[in-house]
Amino acid sequence: MIENRISDLITESELSVLPIEQAETIPSSWYTKEAVYEFELNNLFNTSWQIVGHTDQLKKSGDYFLFDLTGNPIIIIKDGNDIRAFYNVCRHRGGPLAFEAGNTKLLQCKYHGWTYKLDGTLHKQPNFSGVEHFNKKKFCLNPVNFTIWEGLIFAALDNPAINLSEVLSGIKERITPIDVSKYKFYKRVKYKINCNWKVYVDNYLEGYHLPFVHPGLSKVLDAKDYITETSINYSLQYSPLKDNDVYGMGEAYYYFIFPNIMLNILPGRLQTNLVLPLSKNQSLVIFDFYFDDVTSPDSVKRIEKDIRFSDEVQQEDIMICEKVQKGLESKGYDKGRFSPQEEMGVYHFQALLKSFYSKVLTHFN
């Protein structure tokens, strides 16, 4: 049993949350052990809200798109004015209902052709006469929990303990007058990175590394001006922007939503990051770009520059995160310490993680 294996790996003293001035970073084994990865996948990722897409992708009835949520294929579809989410898995023998995004009146399984209505009920199953005690009503598509915030669609495989609106409470008010619900989807970019998902999250949560890893970004943001605010389920790194030709003047809000979502809000722009674990030392990071204007030629030019710059910064982060993973896997490291001025965000994330581990492990004990 994973939970038994994990209690051998995680000691009680490692779960205690001390003030940042006294705290140690989480041990390297949490980034490197298979049992920890499985434990997080089953307990943390399945029960937290994950961004899967945007209502902008579902303009008319029958529009649908797909998402792979930690190995679980799901389909999000518009049925009249309603949005629905299901496993993209046929109830006959597990075939797929779709291979890629599209529009349809009925969902037809690609394996033997069973069809389902857009509300998930089984419509027809060809050449199936003579089957005894077959109750069609029991063969609807299995639904997936989802909810919508400012146009973003979030899904969860199990019932999350906290409502999404509660998780994100205060963000809308904090960024006023910015209204991200008006932004339009522009592009999705995916990065496969050879590091544990927590290495990427830790790295996101501090500006300490800016002067060393991101010479270009340091010209736009000044790590000295970073303010980190922490809330129950998220943290915010806030910084005024220096005069620059990528983002324009204004303010940058970098929200981290525990455990693995980032909302990067800059003037006229929202970029979401979803950090998904692929294995103990591999992650998939999905960037979705949204802008206030995605059509005018001037804006598109600015957007393309923004995306190129974002890729440059991301490549720098990938390089350092992959090196850090190697460092954590080596015999040369176990635990470190935090800078109270620079690493409040990392400390806050790791404290939330410890509380989560404690809660689940107490439950199993």
Q: Which residues bind ligand FES (CB under 6 A)?
A: 90, 92-95, 109, 111-114
CB of 238 to ligand FES, least distance (A): 49
Q: Could you tell me the sign of the dihedral formed by the alpha carbons of 201, 204, 206, 210, in that order?
A: positive
Residue 64 Ramachandran class (φ > 0 left, ψ -120 to 50 alpha, else beta): beta
Pairing relation of β-strands 282-291 and 50-54?
unpaired
Q: Which is nearer to ligand FES, 62 or 96 (CB)?
A: 96
Residues that bind Fe ion (CB under 5 A): 317
CB of 198 to ligand FES, least distance (A): 37
Q: Which is nearer to ligand FES, 35 or 109 (CB)?
A: 109
CB of 126 to ligand FES, least distance (A): 8
Please choose which of ligand FES, Fe ion, none residue 317 contacts, taking the beta carbon within 5 to 8 angstroms, the exact cut-off set by kind: Fe ion
Q: Which is nearer to ligand FES, 44 or 122 (CB)?
A: 122
Going by the DSSP 8-state scheme, the letter that residue 25 receives in this structure is P
Task: Find residue 271's DSSP bridge partners.
Answer: 264, 289
Please choose which of ligand FES, Fe ion, none residue 90 contacts, taking the beta carbon within 5 to 8 angstroms, the exact cut-off set by kind: ligand FES
Please choose, from the candidates 188, 176, 192, 225, the residue with its C-alpha nearest in 3D space to the C-alpha of residue 310. 188
Q: Which is nearer to ligand FES, 112 or 172 (CB)?
A: 112
Which two tokens mark 250? 């204004």
Please choose which of Fe ion, ligand FES, none residue 95 contacts, taking the beta carbon within 5 to 8 angstroms, the exact cut-off set by kind: ligand FES
CA distances from 206 to 13, 190, 202, 305, 334 (A): 25, 22, 7, 24, 20
Q: Which is nearer to ligand FES, 98 or 236 (CB)?
A: 98
Q: Which residue is nearest to Fe ion (CB)?
A: 317
Q: Which is nearer to ligand FES, 90 or 164 (CB)?
A: 90
Distance CA 133, CA 362 (A): 43
Distance CA 62, CA 11 (A): 51
Pairing relation of β-strands 63-69 and 261-266?
unpaired
CB of 207 to Fe ion, least distance (A): 8
CB of 300 to ligand FES, least distance (A): 42
